Amino acid sequence: MKSVVSFIKYLLILSCIGATWTSTLAQQQYKILTKDGAWCWFSDPRAVLHNDIIYAGWVSADGSVIIGSYNTKNNIIKTSNIAPQFDQDDHANPSILILPDHRIMVFFSAHSTVGNGESESGITYLISKNPGDITQWNRPQRIIQNAVGPMKFCYTNPIMLSEENNRIYLFWRGGNWKPTFCFSDDMGQTWSKVFTLIHSNFKTHKRPYIKITSNGKDEIHFAFTDGHPREEALNSIYYLKYKKGAFYKADGTQIGTIDMLPIAHEKCDVVYDAPQYYKENSYGIRAWIWDIALDSTGHPVLAYTKLPTESEHQYWYATWNHDTWHNYKISDAGSWFPRYPRTKSMREPEPHYSGGIYLDHEHTNVVYYSRPIEDTFEIFRSITKDGGKSWDEIPITQDSHHDNVRPFALRDAYHADDPQVLWMQIEHYTHYTDFQSQIRMDIPR
């Protein structure tokens, strides 16, 4: 009898070892782009695929701004520290623009403050000396003109329009906490005056959060909020389009020109109407924008969160079908992902930080998101075949020992055999100024 019991115990031990090995293999099966990197989700694109090379930007734990590259053909990873210990804050992650001559242009700023080595706040931008090479850079240049206000700079988003003679538009959150931009017609040698894009006619203190995309030719599309969900109990989602000097609603109605800026957000499309929801249901659900892309017909597609409570997040999908907006729930998203030590009693300062959702910009019926399985956030790919009414979810990470959050669908990854998504795997993240994480890619090791 003892021998039988011993044999059963032996089998159980082997089973536990096998389970542990399988779990470890599952979470370690994807290639690491960097062992020390994080990013926020309002400076984009943070990663692009160009000529078989992934270019990505992040902030290290000590606040250094890093540009990395990964050659998908020979598996070589390179990194370049373009601003050592600049700002210990993941909001300082750089955005990337590939120029027509294939040189790399990057933009970054400190998070509404003055970065290390700066005498005054501004946006720094660099252009690589050689096409496709991140190891040598021309002298850093800076934009210091800003919208009038006390809040300095944050969140860079460059857009180039080929049909405007390759004009570069650079958007950021300005000194007045509003979406702000200027443009360059000479590849960044000089810049226009600064414009405020949108404001509110009724509440001047609002600070919209904005996501931006483009067809690369003659249009720029914007999705934005009233403000931060922490401060806006009825935070709605809005839409606006720019084309040839004018601004439009999704149905083509012109609502202003570049000479009439800023545009009142009350004139823009309402994609998700939080006040109307409140009227119909007697309680409010605030939202936060995560991404905007264009489908194969050029129509906008949005991904955003609804936040019924601070511990109950949801992922939603919005499409425009020629005459109206349609909103569909994709998945429950769990709670916030920042972690405090369990002995710490203070309230979570960022309870609206979801695991994250992003659209595949080349196939907008595909989304990538992070949601918890039991107590660990995992990355999923989800596909709709009926315009968002139903979704088929496929896990990318499984049985992980650490949270996987803030997925980013790689820009210009058109082919099925291309890498498609990068994400943060968290060792710890208590705040956007206190983190240790890796950036992983959906490439087998």
Task: List the domains of the chain with CATH numbers.
Answer: 1-32+210-250+279-445 (2.115.10), 35-196 (2.115.10.20)
- Predicted pLDDT of residue 206: 85
Tell me the average pLDDT across 254-259. 97
- pLDDT of 14 reads 36
Mean pLDDT of the 119-126 span: 97
State how far the Cα of 445 lies from the Cα of 426, in Å rounded to an integer.
Answer: 19
CA atoms within 13 A on the CB side of 58: 27
Residue-wise pLDDT for 357-394, tens only, equals: 999 999 999 999 999 999 999 999 999 999 999 999 99
Long-range contacts made by residues 177-182, C-beta under 8 angstroms, separation at least 24? Answer: 177/149, 177/151, 177/205, 177/206, 177/207, 178/147, 178/207, 178/208, 178/262, 179/208, 179/210, 179/222, 179/224, 180/146, 180/147, 182/143, 182/145
Q: What is the distance between the alpha carbons of residues 38 and 60, in angstroms, rounded to a whole number?
A: 6
Q: Residue 29: what pLDDT? A: 85
pTM: 0.93
Q: Which of helix, strand or coil describes residue 194?
A: coil
Distance CA(425)–CA(377), nearest Å, equals 9
Average pLDDT over residues 38-58: 98
Per-residue pLDDT tens over the stretch 264-307: 999 999 999 999 999 999 999 999 999 999 999 999 999 999 99
Predicted pLDDT of residue 342: 53
Mean pLDDT, residues 72-80: 97
Structure tokens at 75: 């598996």
Given this model, what pLDDT does residue 292 score? 98
User: pLDDT tens-digit profile of 223-248?
Assistant: 999 999 999 999 999 999 999 999 99
Work out the average pLDDT over 155-177. Answer: 98
Express as a percent the part of the chain with pLDDT over 70.
Answer: 92
Average pLDDT over residues 430-442: 96
At residue 2, the 3 state secondary structure works out as helix
Q: What is the average pLDDT across 58-67? A: 98
- The pLDDT value recorded for residue 1 is 43
User: Which is nearest to 220 in space by CA: 167, 259, 260?
Assistant: 167
pLDDT tens digit sequence for 3-34: 443 433 333 433 443 333 334 335 558 999 99
Residue 4: enclosing H or E segment and its boundaries? helix 2-28
pLDDT band at 421 (very low <50, low <70, confident <90, very high): very high
Mean pLDDT of 48-72: 98
Percent of the chain beyond pLDDT 90?
A: 87
Average pLDDT over all residues of the chain: 92
Give the DSSP letter of residue 416.
Answer: T
| pLDDT at residue 348, as a whole number | 82
